Each structure stands twice: as C-alpha cells, then as structure tokens.
Amino acid sequence: MEIEPTFSASPNFQLPPGFRFHPSDEELIVHYLQRKVTSRPLPAHLITEIDLYKYNPWELPKMALFGEDEWYFFSPRERKYPNGERPNRAAASGYWKAAGSDKPILTSCGISKRIGVKKALVFYTGRAPTGIKTEWIMVEYRLLDSTTKPSRSKGSMRVSEIFNALLRLHICVSQKHGAN
C-alpha cells in the first residue's frame, strides 16, 4: 500500500510563541496513538502521517509539521514476513535496529496500568550485519493488543492496521545537519 505524507495543517501553520510540543509517553499513547487507531479526533493535528520506512532519517525533518530537535510521525509498522510477528525496519538506504527491549508505558494517575510500550531504534546505513551506525535515534510507541479493539466490517481495514505506531525521531549530535 502506497502511503504519501499527509499534512493535516495548512502550509502557513504557525504555533504561538513559546509553544512546545513535548508530550509525555503517556500523553502520546492516550491522546494521540490510541485516538488515531480508534478513529477518534486528535486534540491537535501536529503529527504527520507517513510511511517512515520509505525514507532516510535525514529526509524526514522537512516532512514533519514542525520541530527543531525532534519530530513526530504516525507510521505503519509492517511485518517482515506475512505470517510472522517480526517487524520490517528496512529503510531507503539502511535499516533501523532495536537498541534494547520494549519498555512499558504506564498510566500516572491512580493505579498504574500498562497502556503501551516503547522501543528505541538506531539507524544504520547499508545492510545488516555490516551496516554503519549513525546518530539518528527513533522511539517507537505502540499500543498493547488489549488496549483497543475497534470494530471492523468485513473487507475493511482498521486504521490500527495502517497507522499502528507513533514515532519520535531525533539526532544525537551537536550539529544537526548532514547524513550521519
């Protein structure tokens, strides 16, 4: 399926002075990803919908609605094999490699309840296992399978089957330009 970047705001979209979009992990899950997969309205259209894996990380900042040091995207999370669970993280000229295990995201009020997971990924240029590590880091946010069960009519595709990951991208170097 071909997914082109979708920009929900106008080209003249301006944030008020002092505004910072710096949501917590819980806010990303509850107010953005959970609402996205259940087709409910988002509190603000600040996150670009894109098949992130079709691009190199240094191409993505200009596709985001805003951001200087980090950028947010909704993206599909496709499987590497049709009947498997392993995600396909190949990108345009490299691949994203997990840098650790899933970390639980818990609710902060009342009884802590697990609502999602996050995983850090690092971009490598080239092909595994001889790829070259870059400074690009992405955090992938996912819902738990039991978190949402949207209804689906026969033959239709759920939004959660298309945009089932929310990604936060940033580069960990003092100069934020160039390919590596």
pLDDT of residue 157: 37
pLDDT of residue 127: 96
When pLDDT is averaged across residues 150-161 and rounded to a whole number, the result is: 41
pLDDT of residue 152: 44
Domain assignment present for 50: yes
Q: In the structure, what pLDDT confidence band is assigned to residue 68 with cuts at 50, 70 and 90?
A: confident
Percent of the chain with pLDDT over 90: 56
Domain assignment present for 16: no
Domain assignment present for 93: yes
Domain assignment present for 97: yes
pTM: 0.80
Of residues 141, 175, 154, 168, the one with CA closest to residue 34: 141
Domain assignment present for 1: no
Q: Specify the number of domains making up the chain.
A: 1
Domain assignment present for 88: yes
When pLDDT is averaged across residues 26-52 and rounded to a whole number, the result is: 93
Measured CA to CA, the distance from residue 11 to residue 151 in angstroms comes to 34
Q: pLDDT at residue 28 above 80?
A: yes
Name the average pLDDT for the chain.
82
Quick check: helix, strand or coil at residue 167? strand
Find out whether 137 and 176 touch, Cβ atoms under 8 Å. no
When pLDDT is averaged across residues 170-178 and rounded to a whole number, the result is: 64
Q: Worst-scoring range by mean pLDDT, 6-15, 55-64, 166-175?
A: 6-15
Q: pLDDT at residue 164 above 70?
A: yes
Measured CA to CA, the distance from residue 46 to residue 62 in angstroms comes to 14
Domain assignment present for 43: yes
Domain assignment present for 153: no
- Which residue range(s) make up the domain with 98? 25-148+160-171
When pLDDT is averaged across residues 44-51 and rounded to a whole number, the result is: 91
Question: Is the model more confident about 111 or about 9?
Answer: 111
CATH number for the domain that contains residue 143: 2.170.150.80
pLDDT (tens digit per residue) in 76-115: 888 888 888 888 899 999 999 999 999 999 999 888 899 9
